[in-house]
């Protein structure tokens, strides 16, 4: 059967908007004729609405069509969009699916991506942003867009950045405008305490020092580390720069970065500076400054290697952003970082920056499965079908056609089922994993791999059970190359122990040929452990999502 490639025109939709779905038609043999295409909007397992249109088939038919899809008012909600193409006799010719969601603000479900290439006269701006919208990327970090770390804007155009790259504000501005047309937010990167060595040498009293009294820096005469404490000359200078950015550009917010070290330093007078306290205070001030200019502006701070997450989580950042480094190298660390940050942040969304070479396709799939199953998000996609593999974002790498197709499905899946995976849910893995028994399969939570790992999340009237397949995986580490895919499993007999009355059980997976949910038959039982329901999972490749819906 032929495949339909379909995608929405925007990364997400505000309440009251109408979606415009592009459907790329397959090449069909035979004479010119008429057919019908049906779009079905699904919320979890339920059809919400459907629209049908007559279309031309065969030679001379359009390569793509556009169908308007009215959207329900409820938010936040993720939906699946399923399409079927039939001839006039009702024969199924092709099918496909995509997803979309309705949010009041992009940070409710921050599918963060990146842009880092801003040369003069860039020719692929529309194509780049359109490609990112197909992955539902709704926020973009504009990385190293600025003239200097201490002087963000310049009247020069084009201009050279500190590493000599030729950049153009006109390109930056065109990318922001293209993003906004697709409901994608544009975030201006800024280093919270980085300044050029030349700037710092002219202001020695503004710098931070090591225990030996020497100024701290990054690279050889590249960047100096400045004192970010509120009230310091550097903090006042940077706040003015951030205010100017919000006043004269169309950026939607500020992404504040740090470098992960030092944790403590000394100022020019020899006084100890605790950066774990200085950062939250600066975030508070930066938030007040940018939101006095743009009340709906987004503020994000990079908690490098989860530091100082306890302090940052209590600040007015819109979501928690964690750049992951050793010793957080296991797949289980990705889950742990997310759920702990969710707890500290009172349910704030969590984005991980975990850099994986796109040639490591098994690692990418497993990492995304773990992150999405944990209710988190992963900054990895950007530019035009490129992936982050390095903390210096311009060193991005291309996606293979296979991985591109896989990630389209994974991002469609994460959006389609976000009300079961993330929105309004909380982690219940410690209890939920104990309620699951899979016949003949190791599910021991203490073992690192060679098992089916269970991640559970709780909703108001349901529990999700994600099965993450680590059987046949040689290493439990996401940053250690896995040469072989997990061993596929079929006809898994599952017992789920519960005292609650179960109304429905359904299953979905981004690894199946269809993203539609499959209702599972189940039967109750009882043994020495207590009451349970039993059902069969037809197949597990990388990640299966099981949702147990309770009667009350």
330 pLDDT tier (thresholds 50, 70, 90): very high
Q: Are residues 325 and 405 in the same domain?
A: yes
Q: Could you report the per-residue pLDDT of 511-536, keeping only the tens digit for each?
A: 998 999 999 999 999 999 999 999 99
* 3-class secondary-structure state, position 543: strand
Q: Comparing 88-92, 294-298, 329-333, 477-481, which segment has the lowest mean pLDDT?
A: 88-92
Percentage with pLDDT > 90 across the chain: 93
26 pLDDT tier (thresholds 50, 70, 90): confident
Given 67, 102, 137, which residue is the final one in a domain? 102
Q: Are residues 368 and 439 in the same domain?
A: no
Q: Are residues 170 and 301 in the same domain?
A: yes
Residue 96's pLDDT is what? 95
Token pair of 16 as six digits: 């009251």
Q: Could you tell me if residue 44 is inside a domain? A: yes
Q: Could you tell me if residue 373 is inside a domain? A: yes
Residue 264's pLDDT is what? 92
Residue 301 has pLDDT above 90, yes or no: yes
Q: Could you tell me if residue 207 is inside a domain? A: no
Q: Compute the distance between CA of residue 78 and CA of residue 12 in angstroms, rounded to an integer.
A: 9
Percentage with pLDDT > 70 across the chain: 100
| DSSP codes of every residue in 67-90 | EEEE--S--SEEEEEEEEEEETT-
Q: Could you tell me if residue 23 is inside a domain? A: yes
CATH number at residue 479: 2.60.40.1180
Residue of 211, 210, 206 whose CA lies nearest to 193: 206
Residue 317 has pLDDT above 80, yes or no: yes
Mean pLDDT confidence for 61-66: 91
Q: Are residues 305 and 398 in the same domain?
A: yes
Q: Compute the distance between CA of residue 248 and CA of residue 374 in angstroms, rounded to an integer.
A: 38
Residue 446's pLDDT is what? 86
Total domain count, the chain: 3
Q: Could you tell me if residue 239 is inside a domain? A: no
Q: Are residues 86 and 157 in the same domain?
A: no
Residue 474's pLDDT is what? 85
Helices (H) then strands (E): counts for the chain: 11, 36
Residue 4's pLDDT is what? 92
Q: Could you report the per-residue pLDDT of 218-258, keeping only the tens digit for each?
A: 888 899 999 999 999 999 999 999 999 999 999 999 999 99
Residue 59's pLDDT is what? 85
CATH number at residue 31: 2.60.40.10
Q: Are residues 381 and 446 in the same domain?
A: no
Q: Compute the distance between CA of residue 124 and CA of residue 386 in angstroms, rounded to an integer.
A: 14
Mean pLDDT confidence for 194-218: 94
Q: Could you tell me if residue 272 is inside a domain? A: no
Q: In what order do the strands lie in the sheet with 77-87?
A: 2-3, 92-102, 77-87, 33-43, 46-57
Q: Could you tell me if residue 51 is inside a domain? A: yes
Q: Are residues 332 and 383 in the same domain?
A: yes
Q: Are 294 and 233 spatial neighbours (Cβ–Cβ below 8 Å)? A: no
| DSSP codes of every residue in 107-141 | GGS--EEEE----TT-S-HHHHHHHHHHTT--EEE
Q: Are residues 168 and 127 in the same domain?
A: yes
Could you list the residue range(s) of the whole structural domain that residue 503 is in? 426-550
Residue 319's pLDDT is what? 98
Residue 175's pLDDT is what? 98
Given 421, 439, 470, which residue is the final one in a domain? 421
Q: Are strands 350-353 and 397-398 parallel, antiparallel or unpaired?
A: unpaired
Q: Are residues 309 and 396 in the same domain?
A: yes
Q: Are residues 304 and 413 in the same domain?
A: yes
Q: Could you tell me if residue 198 is inside a domain? A: no
Q: Are residues 459 and 503 in the same domain?
A: yes
Residue 30 has pLDDT above 90, yes or no: no
Q: Could you report the per-residue pLDDT of 332-385, keeping only the tens digit for each?
A: 999 999 999 999 999 999 999 999 999 999 999 999 999 999 999 999 999 999
Residue 358's pLDDT is what? 97
Q: Are residues 130 and 67 in the same domain?
A: no
Residue 1 has pLDDT above 80, yes or no: no
Q: Compute the distance between CA of residue 488 and CA of residue 496 in angstroms, rounded to an integer.
A: 21
Place of tokens 């009667």: 551
Q: Could you report the per-residue pLDDT of 135-183, keeping only the tens digit for each?
A: 999 999 999 999 999 999 999 999 999 999 999 999 999 999 999 999 9
Q: Rounded to the nearest 5 degrees, what angle is found at the Cα of 304, between the Cα atoms of 399 and 200?
A: 105
Q: Could you report the per-residue pLDDT of 435-468, keeping only the tens digit for each?
A: 999 999 999 988 888 999 999 999 999 999 999 9
Residues in contact with 139: Cβ distance below 8 Å, sequence separation at least 6, in sequence order: 106, 107, 110, 111, 112, 113, 184, 185, 187, 252, 298
The helix or strand, by DSSP H or E, that contains position 518, with its residue range, turns out to be: strand 518-519
Given 71, 102, 133, which residue is the final one in a domain? 102
CATH number at residue 314: 3.20.20.80
């Amino acid at each position: 059967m032929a495949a339909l490639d379909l995608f929405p025109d925007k990364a997400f939709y505000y309440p009251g908007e109408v979606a415009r779905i592009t459907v790329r038609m397959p090449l069909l043999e035979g004479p010119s004729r008429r057919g019908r295409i049906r779009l079905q909007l699904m919320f979890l397992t339920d059809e919400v609405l459907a629209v049908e249109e007559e279309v031309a088939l065969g030679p001379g038919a359009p390569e793509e069509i556009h169908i308007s899809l009215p959207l329900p008012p409820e938010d936040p909600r993720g939906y699946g969009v399923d399409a079927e193409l039939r001839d006039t006799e009702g024969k199924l010719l092709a099918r496909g699916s995509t997803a979309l969601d309705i949010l009041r603000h992009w940070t409710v479900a921050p599918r963060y991506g990146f842009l880092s290439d801003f040369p003069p006269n860039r020719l692929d701006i529309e194509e780049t942003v359109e490609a990112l919208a197909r992955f539902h990327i709704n926020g973009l970090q504009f990385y190293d867009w600025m003239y200097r770390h201490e002087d963000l804007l310049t009247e020069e155009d084009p201009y050279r950045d500190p590493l000599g790259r030729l950049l153009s504000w006109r390109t930056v501005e065109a990318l922001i405008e293209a993003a906004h047309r697709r409901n994608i937010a544009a975030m201006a990167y800024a280093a919270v305490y980085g300044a050029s060595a030349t700037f710092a040498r002219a202001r020695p009293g503004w710098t931070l020092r090591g225990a030996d009294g020497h100024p701290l820096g990054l690279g050889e005469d590249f960047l100096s580390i400045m004192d970010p404490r509120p009230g310091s000359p550097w903090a006042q200078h940077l706040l003015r720069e951030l205010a100017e950015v919000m006043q004269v550009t169309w950026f939607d917010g500020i992404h504040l970065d740090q470098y992960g070290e030092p944790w403590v330093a000394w100022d020019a007078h020899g006084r100890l500076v605790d950066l774990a306290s200085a950062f939250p205070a600066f975030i508070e001030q930066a938030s007040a400054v940018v939101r006095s200019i743009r009340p709906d502006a987004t503020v994000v701070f990079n908690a490098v290697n989860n530091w100082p997450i306890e302090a940052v989580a209590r600040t007015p950042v819109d979501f928690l952003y964690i750049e992951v480094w050793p010793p957080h190298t296991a797949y289980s660390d990705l889950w742990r970082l997310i759920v702990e940050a969710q707890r500290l942040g009172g349910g704030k969304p969590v984005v991980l920056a975990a850099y994986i070479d796109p040639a490591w396709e098994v690692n990418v799939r497993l990492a995304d499965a773990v992150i999405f199953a944990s209710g988190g998000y992963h900054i990895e996609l950007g530019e035009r079908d490129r992936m982050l593999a390095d903390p210096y974002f311009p060193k991005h790498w291309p996606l293979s056609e296979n991985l591109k197709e896989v990630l389209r499905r994974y991002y469609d899946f994460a959006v389609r089922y976000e009300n079961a995976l993330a929105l309004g849910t909380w982690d219940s893995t410690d209890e939920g994993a104990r309620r699951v028994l899979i016949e003949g399969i190791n599910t021991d939570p203490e073992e690192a791999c060679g098992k089916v790992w269970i991640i559970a999340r709780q909703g108001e009237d349901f529990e999700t059970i994600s099965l993450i397949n680590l059987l046949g995986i040689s290493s439990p580490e996401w940053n250690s190359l896995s040469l072989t895919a997990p061993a596929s499993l079929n006809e898994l007999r599952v017992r789920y122990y519960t005292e609650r009355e179960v109304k429905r059980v359904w299953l979905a997976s981004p690894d199946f040929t269809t993203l539609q949910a499959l209702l599972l038959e189940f039967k109750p039982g009882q043994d020495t452990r207590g009451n349970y329901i039993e059902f069969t999972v037809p197949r597990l490749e990388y990640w299966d999502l099981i949702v147990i819906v309770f009667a009350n």
